[in-house]
Structure 1
Amino acid sequence: MSKLVRRTFALVAAAGIGAASLVGAASPAAAAADYNGACGDGYAVINSYDLSSDRGTIFLTYNNSTGHNCVTTVRTVAGTTTLVEAMIRVSGSSDWIIDSDDYTTYAGPVYVAAAGKCIDWGGTIGTETQTFPNEHCG
């Protein structure tokens, strides 16, 4: 291999390693929050929604043995207190079951007995609220 080819190959390889190092060193985009198990034993995640700007995730869980649904809203990164809400109700009810306060990590759990019924569920982090009506009927 000629000196010029070896030098070009070395420069390309070094540039590739340097670029890979930069990519590896860059902080990754914040992932959606993980479910924290706050609803307790027997609850499995059946739905979730990632709020914008990597604020966090609203989790809907269900316990097959009890027929209860549960909602928690988990911040992606714990920090200073901010408004965090978890909410749930049987569809058609006027009253939300809600946990709402300035929290550092998560709101909830909030529960509703809804076997054989539809539910409305949702959550808030900061200024963003999402609700999901008439879901998971049955």
Structure 2
Amino acid sequence: MQRSRAIAGSAVLAAAGIATMGLATTASAAPASAAAYNGACGTGYRVVNSLPVTGKGTVYLMYSAKTGKNCVVTVRNSPGKPVFLYTYLGPSDGSSDTVFDSGNYTSYAGPVYLAAKGRCVDWGGTVETVSVSVSGSNCGRLAPGVVTHR
């Protein structure tokens, strides 16, 4: 009787070890998560829209009700060696110049700012060779179906 308990106990421990190894393997195989907004625009700005840069990062559009300014930043999913990053923001009506930032950066491009209270904006960004953009959005209010990431 003692021996069968020992064998049963060993089988339970072995099964627990295999289950633990399976969990560890699953956790390490998880894909990289999407880039989170990094706070680059400063205090008082909140995310009002975002665009995924497929598999590479996210472009965030922020707004500050206090200043009436929009801000855009393009954030990589996985910071590392410098790669080409670009971010831009402009008024849809062409009433002022588009502002942009570009270069070989390790984690993000921007922030860029534009006073655009009550105006539609064009904005977007690039990570390496993948670009995304939106024209005529966020016209002084949250657009329907706004995507936010935290």
Normalized against structure 2, the TM-score is what? 0.78
Determine whether 1:85 maps to 2:83.
no
Tell me the equivalent position of 1:67: 68
The 5 Å alignment of 1:1-138 reads 10=12, 15-24=18-27, 26-53=28-55, 55-93=56-94, 95-138=97-140
Gaps of 5+ in 2: 141-150
CA distance in 1, matches of 2:19, 2:81: 40
Aligned-partner residue type, residue 58 of structure 2:
T
Deviation at 1:136, TM superposition (A): 0.5
Deviation at 1:80, TM superposition (A): 1.6
CA distance in 2, matches of 1:99, 1:109: 8
CA distance in 2, matches of 1:77, 1:16: 30
SS of 1:20 mapped into structure 2: helix
CA distance in 1, matches of 2:35, 2:66: 26
State the Cα deviation string for residues 54-76 of structure 1 (Å, max 9, x = none): x1111110000111000001112
CA distance in 2, matches of 1:61, 1:29: 27
CA distance in 2, matches of 1:17, 1:80: 34
Deviation at 1:83, TM superposition (A): 1.0
Aligned-partner residue type, residue 104 of structure 2:
D
Normalized against structure 1, the TM-score is what? 0.84
Identity across aligned pairs (percent)? Answer: 40
Structure 1 runs of 4+ with >4 Å offset? 11-15
Gaps of 5+ in 1: none
State the Cα deviation string for residues 12-71 of structure 1 (Å, max 9, x = none): 6554343223223x2421111121111112111111122112x11111100001110000
Tell me the equivalent position of 2:145: none
Aligned-partner residue type, residue 67 of structure 1:
G
Deviation at 1:89, TM superposition (A): 0.4
RMSD: 2.5
**Greater length-normalized contact order (CA 8 Å, ≥ 6 residues apart):** 2
